[in-house]
Amino acid sequence: MNRKIVWSILAIVFGRLVINISKRFPYPFVSAIGTSFGVSADSIQNVIALTNGAGLTSPILGTISEHFGRKLVMTGVLLMMAAMSLVAALFADYGVFILVMFSLGIGKIIYDPTFQAYLGDVIHFSRRARVMGIAELSWALSLVIAAPVAGFLLDVSSLQAVFLFVAVMLAFGAVAVWLLVEADETPDYRRKRIRIIGPLAAMRTVSAHPPAVFALIFSLCLTLSHEIFYINYGLWMEDAFGLVLTALGAVTIVIALAEVIGEFIVITVADRFGAKRTSMYGMLIAAVCFLIIPNLSASLPLAMFGIFLMFIAIETSIVSALPLFTEILPRSRAVMMSANMGAHSLGRVAGAALGALIYKLSDGNFLMIGVVAGLLGFSAFLVMWRKIPAGGL
């Protein structure tokens, strides 16, 4: 890998790190943010849900780099997000906060498929899982940075100081991408960009290729299974152990560690073992965990270990699938990765609603929730095993 590509990757990862910080900093401080605007914590949670819902527009907005080019779109998105964060820093208004948070959500769903497509363009498939695993470390590291920095700034100043910090970092990210990322404009690529890729054309491109359709089914089943389980495990821990604050605090640490370990597994193993097999067996382990964890209510350490293993497996499966999916439609990578992000977003929204419904209809039967999540997880495993090609391996 040449030096220019290494610097390109570092700049792209830095940009994504800052974007993830802008997304994750509100989660631990929902109550404090609500107090600063004089609204309830539920209102801030609804804003976060709205931000997550922005991912549903990914199949429409995430494809624009097929027309304008990867580097230009990544730089433009970072600048837009920096400008919106600066607006939030200048105006301490709840309506502005909603607008800015939604804009930051839109920025992420454009940047992510664009950088994934760029890495697919410039990194050979034999090394792509390692590079994408490194890029995905920015998700886990963002929480490590976001929580203490935002907590400190909220303690000594205000939410506007947090947004000012985010704005400055996003601006640095834009400069880094513009100066360090290798241009992706070749003569062939310029000719291709003359035709704008609209959402209907993108849908036709994906639906005409069966492996692409099955890749989206895999992502949807994976996210549905995880979200159905994830939205209910806190209630189960409260009922089973009566240790709400202690358990949730410990699980937060568990999740962060699991994310990092899962990403390191992809970095060190996936290229040699195979991206498909790594993702497939990660999903299988997660599905088994969904079925077993509800039966561990007699022991908090065992339950915590099960949750820890489940998050490692899920993170491994998600991240190792990314390089695999970049090779499914190599001439329309941004289209494919945007559709994949849309499938994950749909899974999160539908999974949260379905998980709440199952909990209500089953009178809080967590075993039933585990069974549904496990069956969906096994479905994802089977789809990956039987229907998705191994790419360049």
Indicate if the pLDDT at residue 127 is higher than 60: yes
Select from 269, 268, 262, 322 the least CA-distant residue to 289. Answer: 262
> Token match 């697919």: residue?
120
Q: Residue 142 CA to chain centroid, in angstroms?
A: 12
Q: How far is it, in rounded angstroms, from Cα 187 to Cα 198?
A: 22
Tell me, what's the pLDDT at 25?
Answer: 87
Q: How far is it, in rounded angstroms, from Cα 247 to Cα 235?
A: 11
Indicate if the pLDDT at residue 249 is higher than 60: no
**Model confidence band, residue 220 (pLDDT cutoffs 50, 70, 90):** very high
Element (H, E) at 129: helix 125-156
Residue-wise pLDDT tens digits, 14-62: 999 999 999 888 877 887 888 899 998 778 878 887 887 777 777 777 6
Indicate if the pLDDT at residue 195 is higher than 60: no
Residue-wise pLDDT tens digits, 287-338: 999 999 999 998 988 998 999 999 999 999 999 999 999 999 888 888 888 8
Tell me, what's the pLDDT at 191?
Answer: 43
**Model confidence band, residue 243 (pLDDT cutoffs 50, 70, 90):** low
Q: How far is it, in rounded angstroms, from Cα 332 to Cα 63?
A: 9
Indicate if the pLDDT at residue 190 is higher than 70: no
**Model confidence band, residue 103 (pLDDT cutoffs 50, 70, 90):** very high
Of the chain, the percentage scoring pLDDT greater than 90 comes to 50
The CA-atom distances, in angstroms, between 43 and each of 9, 30, 103 are 37, 9, 17
Mean pLDDT along residues 210-231: 93
| Secondary structure (H, E, C), 66-104 | HHHCHHHHHHHHHHHHHHHHHHHHHCCCHHHHHHHHHHH
Give ranges for CATH 1.20.1250.20 in the chain.
3-197, 201-387
Return the top range by mean pLDDT from 175-179, 236-240, 299-303, 343-347: 175-179
Q: How far is it, in rounded angstroms, from Cα 328 to Cα 219?
A: 14
Indicate if the pLDDT at residue 199 is higher than 50: yes
Q: How far is it, in rounded angstroms, from Cα 169 to Cα 17?
A: 10
**Model confidence band, residue 238 (pLDDT cutoffs 50, 70, 90):** confident
Q: Which of 41-50, 174-183, 316-325, 381-390 has the lowest mean pLDDT?
A: 41-50
Domain 3-197: which topology? Answer: Growth Hormone; Chain: A; (1.20.1250)
Tell me, what's the pLDDT at 252?
Answer: 65
Q: How far is it, in rounded angstroms, from Cα 64 to Cα 107?
A: 12
* Average model confidence (pLDDT) across the chain: 87
Select from 314, 152, 313, 87 the least CA-distant residue to 219. Answer: 314
Indicate if the pLDDT at residue 393 is higher than 50: no
Q: Which of 88-102, 169-183, 231-245 has the lowest mean pLDDT?
A: 231-245
- Helices and strands, number each (H, E), in the chain: 18, 0
Return the top range by mean pLDDT from 31-35, 187-191, 217-221: 217-221
Nearby residues of 38 by Cβ (< 8 Å), 6 or more positions away:
94
Indicate if the pLDDT at residue 247 is higher than 70: no
Residue-wise pLDDT tens digits, 371-380: 999 999 999 9
Q: How far is it, in rounded angstroms, from Cα 266 to Cα 317?
A: 9
Domain 201-387: which topology? Answer: Growth Hormone; Chain: A; (1.20.1250)
